[in-house]
Structure 1
Amino acid sequence: MSLLNPDSWTLFQAISVFSLCALVIAVAGTRITRVVDQLADRTGIGEAAAGAVLLGASTSIGGSVLSVTAAWNGHAELAVSNALGGIAVQTFFLALADMAYRKANLEHAAASVPNMMQNGLLISLLGFILLAPFTPEFTVWGIHPITPLLFGFYIYGIRLVRGSQEEPMWTAVSTSDTLEDVPDDTRKMPSLPQLWMEFTLLFLVLGITGWLLEPSATTIAAEAGISHTVIGVLLTAVCTSIPELVTSIAAVRRGALTLAVGGIIGGNAFDTLFTAASDVAYRDGSIYHQMSDDALFWVSLTMVMSGVLMMGLIRRERQGLARIGLESVSILVLYAAGVAILVSGA
C-alpha cells in the first residue's frame, strides 16, 4: 500500500498524515500533563522538578524523534531547525499562557528558584550550540565534542535545579498573588504504578507520532517547494510543541502555575538535546557545521527571548501592558518579528 511507503506519498497524503499526528499529539499531550501533575504529588518531587524532567521530556519526545529521524536520513537542516524552532515557539507559548492567567503576571505568580535555574541552564545550552559551528569541524566516530558536553552539562544542570528546590540559597518574596505549589489529595489519585503505566503509554504514543511526522514533513517540503528551515521552524516545531501550549494553558487554569512555567522552560532545556542527539544520528560529520544562517539566527533569537524571560522571572512585575507582563509582550513581539524575517527571506 502506498500509505505504508512514505516515498510514494502525495502532498495531500503527507498533509493528512501530518494533521492526524498533530491531533494525536494534542490529545496525548493534554492527558500527560494531568498524569505528570499527579506523579509530582505522588512522588513528592514537586511541580518544578516534574515540569523540568517528566513533562519537559514527555511533551518533547515527538520533536526529539522527528529531529533524530531527519538527521539519520541526512536531512540536517530539518533536524536542527525543528529543534531550535521548537524552543522559540514554546517560549512564545509561555506568553500565551500568561494571557490565560488573568489574576496577575504569570511569572510573578509562579515565582520559583528552580524555574530560574532551568532558564539559566537553557541559555547556557543554547550558547554551546551557537558556539559549536565556530569550532574546528572535528568528530570522533562522527560525533562532535560539543555533543557529549551538552548531555553532561544538561545532567549537571538538572542536579542544580533539584538542589535549588531542596536547599535554596534564597527565596522569592511571597505576595498575595504568589501561588505556592500545594500538593493535591493523593488518596483521590490512581495508584503510583498505574500513573507510571499511563505515563509510559502516552510517552510511546508521542514518540511514534514524531517518527511519522518526519517523512510527512519531508514530503511537504519537497512537493510544496519549501525549505527545510521554514518547514522545521514554522510547521514541525509548532506541531510538536502543541502539547506545551495545551498543557501550559490547562495547567494555568487548574492553578498549577509552577508546573506550567517549569514545563515550558524544562522542555526547552530538554529540546537542546535534540541537536545533540541529531549529531549522533547524523553520519556525514558534525551536524553543527551544517547549520544555516537561518538556524543560527533562531538560536540567537531564542537566547534573547530566554534572557527577557529570565529578567521577567527576577523582576516579577504584577501587571503590565494588556494585563500581562512586559516580558510576555516583548517575547510576543520578538517571535513575530523572527517569523516575519524568516518568511521574507525564504
Structure 2
Amino acid sequence: MGSPSSPVLLLSFVVSAAVIWYAGIKLSDTTDVLAERLHLGGALGGLILLAVATNLPEIAITVSAALAGQLDVAVGNILGGIAIQTVVLAVLDAAGTRPRAPLTRVAASLQLVLEGALVVVVLAVVVMGTQLSPGLHVGRLAPASAAIAALWVVGLVLLNRAGHGLPWREGGDAPDSQPEPRGHSRGKKEKAAADKGVHTGRAGLIFGTAALATLVAGVVIERSGEDFFARQGLSGVLFGATVLAAATSLPEVSTGLTSTKLGDHQLAISDIFGGNAFLPVLFLLATVISGKPVLPAAHDTDIYLTALGIILTVTYMAGLVFRPRRQYARMGIDSVTAVVIYLVGIAGLATIAT
C-alpha cells in the first residue's frame, strides 16, 4: 500500500494535536486531584507523576523510535523539545491572568532558580555524554544516561527539601511575589472535582484514558507530521525542533495557562523547568529498549539545541533573580529576550541542518 495523501497526513497531524491538547488538560486536572487525595502534593511522588504526565507525547515518540532502532530520532525528539518548552514561558507571560507584571516578577523564588539550575546541570551532562564512545556500556546501561537519571533523582530530593523551606529571608520567596503559596491551585482543582462528585476512582480512570490517548496521539503526530512536512521541504531536524516540539509541548501550555489563571505562577514555571529536567531521563529508557547507548548517536544539531536550551533556561533564571518590572507586548524583558534568542537560534539551526 502507498503512503497516505498529504491532506490525510495533515488531518492526522491536526487531530492528534487536538487530542494532545484536550488530553493534556484532563491529565493536568486529574494529576492534581490524585496528588492531593493520595497526599503526594509537592513531594517526590507528585513531582514525578506530573513530570511523566506532561511529557507523555515525548515518551511515546522516544519508545517508538527506540523500538525501531532510530536512535537519532529519539535524541532529536528529547533535545528538540526542551528549547521550545522553555519558550512556552513567554506564552504564559503574555497570556497569563495576573496583575500587570512580568511572570518572573510575581513568581520569583530561590526554589525556581534551583530548578532551573537542575535543568542546566542535566543538559551539561547530556553534552558530555554525546562525546563518549558508543561501545562504552554495561549490558543495557550507558554511563551518561544512568548519570542523568541519578542526577535527576538527587535534584528532586534537594528540591523537595527546598520546598519545605530555605534558610533565607521570606523562605526563599521574593517579598512581594504571589500572595498564596505555591501549589495552591492543586487544592482548588481538588475541591472543584469534589464539588462535582468526581471520586478518586473516576479521576484515576480519566487520568489513564487521557494518558493512553496522549501516548497514541504522540506516535501518530510524529509519523504523520514528519511525512507531511518533509513533502513541504522542511528537514527532519527543523521539523523536530519546531513543529513537532511545539505540538508535543501542548500539555505544558494547557497546564501552565491553568496555573496562571488560578494565580499559581510559581507552579507554572516549576512545571516547565521540571519537565525539561525530566526529558533527558528518557535517554535511559531509550538505551534500555534499544540495548545501545543513545547519546553517542546525537548529531551536531542535537548538541546545538542542547546549548540553546541551556541559554534559554539561564535567561529565565536571570529574570527570576532580577525580577523585571516593565512589560513589552505584555511580556517581561526576559521573555522578549528568550523569544529573540529562540528565533535566532532556529535560524542558526537551519544553516546546520542544510
TM-score when normalising by structure 2: 0.86
Q: Do the aligned partners of residues 279 and 179 (structure 1) sit closer, same or farther apart at CA in structure 2, a change above 3 Å counting?
A: farther
In the alignment, what sits opposite 1:111? 108
SS in 1 for 2:55: helix
Answer yes or no: is the 8 Å Cα contact 1:59–1:206 preserved in 2: no
Amino acid in the other structure paired with 1:286 = P
* CA offsets 1:55-96 (integer angstroms, 9 cap, x no match): 332121111110221132132232212111111111001111
Partner Cα distance (2:329, 2:217) in 1: 37
Indicate the residue corresponding to 2:350 in structure 1. Answer: 343
Moved more, 96-105 or 234-243: 96-105
TM-score by length of 1: 0.87
Provide Cα deviations, 1:167-200, integer angstroms capped at 9, x if missing partner: 4333234444423233438554233343333223
Aligned to 2:178: 178
Of the three residues 223, 232, 253, the one matched with 1:245 is 253
Is residue 334 of structure 1 aligned with residue 303 of structure 2? no
1:154-193 → structure 2 map (5 Å cutoff) = 154-170=152-168, 171-181=171-181, 182=184, 183-184=187-188, 187-188=191-192, 189=194, 190-193=198-201
For residue 240 of structure 1, report the CA deviation from its aligned partner: 0.8
Q: State the Cα distance separating 1:216 from its structure 2 match.
A: 2.3
For 1:141, what is the secondary structure of its paired residue? coil
Q: Does the CA-based 8 Å contact 2:123-2:310 persist in structure 1? A: yes
Most deviating of 152-161 and 272-281: 272-281
Distance change in 2, residues 1:50/1:86 (3 Å): farther
Report how far residue 152 of structure 1 moved. 1.6
Which structure 1 segments of 5+ residues have no match? none
Moved more, 67-76 or 303-312: 67-76
1:169 is paired with a residue whose SS is coil
Matched, 1:314 2:324: no
1:68 aligned partner? 63
Question: Does 2:240 correspond to 1:232?
Answer: yes
RMSD: 2.6
User: Alpha carbons of 1:121 and 1:174: their partners in 2 closer, same or farther (altered >3 Å)?
Assistant: closer
Aligned-pair identity in percent equals 27
Residue 109 of structure 1: how far off its partner (Å): 1.5
Range with greater deviation from structure 2 (105-114 or 175-184): 175-184
| CA shift in 2, pair 1:220/1:140, >3 Å | farther
Secondary structure of residue in 2 paired with 1:136: coil
Contact in 2 for aligned 1:35/1:195 (Cα 8 Å): yes
Question: Offset at 1:250?
Answer: 2.6
Contact 1:111-1:316 at 8 Å conserved across structures: yes
2:270 equivalent to 1:262: yes
Residue 85 to residue 206, structure 1, CA distance change in 2 (3 Å)? same
- The answer to whether the 8 A contact 1:85-1:298 is kept is yes
Deviation track 1:289-331 (CA, whole Å, cap 9, x = no partner) reads 2211111100001011111111222222333444532221211
Distance of 1:52 and 1:228 partners within structure 2: 32
Of 12, 21, 37, which aligns to 1:17? Answer: 12
Listed one character per residue, the Cα deviations across residues 15-41 of structure 1 (whole Å, up to 9, x for unaligned) are 322221111001111222222333454
Paired residue type of 2:49: L
The verdict on how the C-alpha distance between 1:225 and 1:280 changes in structure 2, with shifts beyond 3 A counting, is: farther
Q: Secondary structure at the match of 1:23?
A: helix
Q: Report deviation, 1:44.
A: 4.9
Tell me the alpha carbon deviations over residues 254-313 of structure 1, each in whole angstroms, 9 at most, x when there is no partner.
Answer: 222222111111111111223332233335x43212211111100001011111111222
- Number of matched residues? 340
Summarize deviations over 1:110-138 as a string: whole Å, max 9, x none. Answer: 23444333222111111111111222331
Residue identity opposite 2:53 in structure 1: S
Is the counterpart of residue 277 in structure 1 residue 297 in structure 2?
no
Per-residue CA deviations over 1:123-165 (Å, capped at 9, x if unaligned) read 1111111111222331223542111111122112111111111
Amino acid at match of 1:184: K
Q: 2:129 is matched with which residue: 128, 132, 137?
A: 132
